[in-house]
Amino acid sequence: MKIFAHRGASAQYAEHTRAAFAHALATGVDGIETDVQLSADGHLICWHDATLDRTSSGTGPVRDHRLADLRQLDVTSWKTAQSSNRDELKASVTSPEGQLVTLDQLTQMMIAAQYPVELALEMKIGACAAGVIEEAVWEWLQRWGWNAETGTLMPQGRPTEVSVSIMSFSNEALRRVARAVPSTRLCQLIDSHDVDINATGMIGPSVDWLTDHGALDAWNQTDRVVRMWTVETNEQLTAARRMGVRQITVNDPAWALALNDAASLTLLDSVGGR
């Protein structure tokens, strides 16, 4: 079972920041999940909300601010205020002013990690007109040498170990990028609505949705990859393994990797007598 870091190592560090992504990559996580929003001057930034209010010192829509202004925001103190280990968290962020990450910067970080890792990119389309985020993502894929056959990035023709999948709650948005991205690299996210299992090669149900609907057997029979989100407890992770879920998204990748490895070793012991 592959482990994806939800907005980076967001249990320990402010989500979508350089520290969160760097920590997740240092654990050797299988994948990084990030949301993307567009700045006023057309830059894709790693950000979840349509507004700045919850996770920064700024206010108002992300779409109304230029990248240079977004870089001046404090995007870490909100997390420090919530943490029981405030001193440790402050010490881990040596330069708060450099914590906001663009999608290009995250791409560079993942390539520099030099191990096989997948970037699971969620298009947040609500704040933009139809097709705007999708076009920006397509331009990003082209700029980084997207190879549709291998699913990897090859800037200037140089192979990397970074693969890409594109996610969205919007079927329309996924259809717009399907001209360049094969269905095996598209993931339909679901939480409270029905799903067409033939629409994409990957399905991203929430923990609660999958528990309530019990659709996993049908998806496995169609060879759809299930990427469940967001797994936060030992019981949820164990249940995911038992159900045959292939990928999970977590806030604490170090915990999930350790528990997943321990479960794998236990299974090997029981099967192989080791």
User: What's the confidence (pLDDT) of residue 97?
Assistant: 64
Q: Which two tokens stand for residue 263?
A: 């479960």
More confident residue, 94 or 117: 117
Percent of the chain whose pLDDT exceeds 70? 86
Whether the predicted pLDDT of 145 surpasses 70: yes
Cβ–Cβ under 8 Å, residues 132 and 45: no
188, 194 contact by CB (below 8 A): no
Is 10 a residue whose pLDDT tops 60? Answer: yes
203-226 exposure pattern, b = at least 16 Cβ within 10 A, e = fewer: bbbbbebbeeeebbeebeeeebbb
Q: Average pLDDT of 7-23? A: 97
Question: What does the pLDDT read at residue 208?
Answer: 87
pLDDT score, position 268: 38
Q: Name the region of 266 (left: φ>0; alpha: ψ -120 to 50; beta: rest).
A: alpha
CA 87 to chain centre: 27
Q: Percent of the chain, pLDDT > 90?
A: 73
Does the domain made of 2-272 have the CATH classification 3.10.450.240? Answer: no
CB neighbours (10 Å) of residue 111? 17
Comparing 196 with 230, the larger pLDDT belongs to: 230
3-state SS assignment for residue 100: strand
Instruction: Classify the C-alpha dihedral 221-224-228-234 as positive or negative.
Output: positive
- Say how many Å lie between the first and final Cα of the chain, rounded: 21
pLDDT at 251 over 80: yes
121-135, 148-162, 201-215, range with the lowest pLDDT: 201-215
Asked if the model's pLDDT at residue 152 lies above 60, the reply is yes
The reported pLDDT for the residue numbered 263 is 78
Summarize the confidence of residues 104-128 as an average pLDDT: 95
Helix (H) or strand (E) holding 202: strand 202-205
Given pLDDT bands bounded at 50, 70 and 90, which one contains residue 104? very high
Q: Is the pLDDT of residue 93 over 90?
A: no
Predicted confidence at residue 273, as pLDDT, reads 39
**What does the mean pLDDT of the chain come to?**
89
Phi, psi of 244 (to 5 degrees): 85, 20
Tally of CA atoms within 13 A in the half-sphere of 49 that contains its CB? 12
How much is the pLDDT for 211? Answer: 72
Q: How does pLDDT run across 34-59, given as a tens digit for each residue?
A: 999 999 999 999 999 999 999 999 99
How far apart are alpha carbons 108 and 88 in whole angstroms? 27
Is the CB of residue 246 less than 8 Å from the CB of residue 268? Answer: no
Query: How confident is residue 231, by pLDDT bands cut at 50, 70 and 90?
Result: very high
**Confidence at 272, pLDDT banded by 50, 70, 90:** very low
- Asked if residues 17 and 262 have their Cβ atoms less than 8 Å apart, the reply is no
Q: pLDDT: is 197 or 82 the higher one?
A: 82
Residue 25 predicted with pLDDT over 50: yes
Q: What is the pLDDT of residue 85?
A: 56
3-state class (DSSP) for residue 79: helix
According to DSSP, the residues that pair with 121 across neighbouring strands are: 34, 166
